[in-house]
Amino acid sequence: MELRNLRHFVALAEERSFTRAAARELIVQSGLSTSIRSLEKDVGGLLFIRGTRPVRLTAAGDALLPEARRTLAAADAARQAVQQVEGVLSGRFTIGTMDSIGHTLPFSAWLAEFALAHPGLEIVVTQQPALRMAELVAGGELDCALLPATRDAGLTVLPLISEPIVLACAPGHPLARKRTVRLADLDGERFVETPPGWAIRALIDETFDAAGLSRRIACEVTDWTTVVDLVAAGVGVALIPEGLNFARLPSPRLIPLADAHLERRLDFVYPAGPAASPATRRFLAVLESR
């Protein structure tokens, strides 16, 4: 079984398209097909259901996928371990971030510095809901991530920054006249929310449940710009990080919470001990120096 074939298999399983997977792996589609057939011969079973769009895994393919990812990660770690002795990093470095991280941390500057210092690395940045990214780091599918860590994630955590969560409402909303608001003031209000799976959504859900309060979800959207746009238009209120950059956005009224201290944290999370890749440990050193 060749690592190249496993890499092609993972690419096709993730892209769900021969065209996109071949482009990702920089080979022609016929070469990708040959590689997949060779792997199927090695493992003794069909891995994909032919003729479906998007491409679908068989039960055997589902079983192989996590093992293939672990094998490729182990091969990368072995290669990097040797090269680290020589002072050179190479292979793939996968890091997860949140959509709004640039508002509060100079992540792009950190990443540029790291990429220029290690040109042999293939750096892949992905943005997904925080809780999902924590699962991917724990499962070895991401090297590390910048997100609000939870206590039960089982990961090593480097705290980076925290900021208050405040109420945002349209200037004409009745609550806009208040200097502070209590959670009870928000009972039954229409909210513009981020989707389940976002760490801030989980925090707000838990806070309202613990207080015995309810809210009506008017809209769920996946980026803060749209949240603020909808709040400014009067669709609903929202609880948002205070540090969002409103320079190019409509300006909602921001009001502190009087009886609840809610924070949005950003942490650097990575596997404990030797499970952390050499590239992760080197990137950690950059963050600690800042």
pLDDT tens digits, one per residue of 8-47? 999 999 999 999 999 988 899 999 999 999 999 999 999 9
User: What does the pLDDT average to over 240-260?
Assistant: 78
Cβ within 8 Å of residue 126, ≥6 positions away: 94, 95, 96, 97, 133, 142
User: What does the pLDDT average to over 231-249?
Assistant: 81
> Does the model's pTM come out above 0.75?
no
pLDDT digits (tens, 9 = 90+) for 55-97: 999 999 999 999 999 999 888 878 777 766 556 677 889 999 9
Highest-scoring range by mean pLDDT, 119-128, 173-182, 223-232: 173-182
Does the pLDDT at position 212 exceed 90? yes
User: What does the pLDDT average to over 207-212?
Assistant: 94
Does the pLDDT at position 249 exceed 60? no
Confidence of residue 107 (pLDDT cuts 50, 70, 90): confident
* Mean pLDDT, the chain, integer: 88
pLDDT at position 153 is 61
